[in-house]
Amino acid sequence: MPREYAHERTVLGGLLRFANCERAVLQLPYSIRALWIHAYQSWIWNRVACRRLQLYGANAVVGDLTVEGEEESVDEGDGATSVVDGDEPNHGNEVQGKVDRDRGTLSRSGRGTVRVVTAKDLERGAGGGPRAGAIVLPLLGRDVLYPMNEIGRCVALT
């Protein structure tokens, strides 16, 4: 194997030494393991975001997640990731807050609330309905509120 594949060589050496995949990967420095995990998370997020745009376009649909409350831009690192606000997806920081799955909300102190779009929200129309720019997709993680539609099922399958 070429020298420039040092990390791959490390993992293969760990497999030969331990015959255990987990221990082989643990031979890598933490920073490289974290980089690989974050790259995989980003790859999944991009696939889900593309699927969401293919299925629904820029329109909010029942089950989408939107940000409401504070009137700040979603793509300024406020803890969510904007899907349709601007030309390219913008990855913010991980959403921190209290998930209430029964109500379909995630409260974030001082940053508005992420909530699930309902049919009632869509009936309000353009004036009171969810803004397309407020649609968000969360990064993968523990205790995360995912969209409650085809997109949420798509994330669950990955």
Q: Where are the domains of the chain?
A: 6-157
pTM to 2 decimal places: 0.66
Q: pLDDT tens-digit profile of 111-154?
A: 667 888 888 888 876 555 666 568 889 888 877 888 999 998 88
Cβ atoms of residues 124 and 62 within 8 Å: no
- Give the least confident one: 41-45, 60-64, 73-77, 144-148: 73-77
pLDDT band at 47 (very low <50, low <70, confident <90, very high): very high
Closest CA to 150 of 27, 22, 56, 30: 56
Residue 137 forms beta bridges with which residues? 81
Cβ atoms of residues 82 and 89 within 8 Å: yes
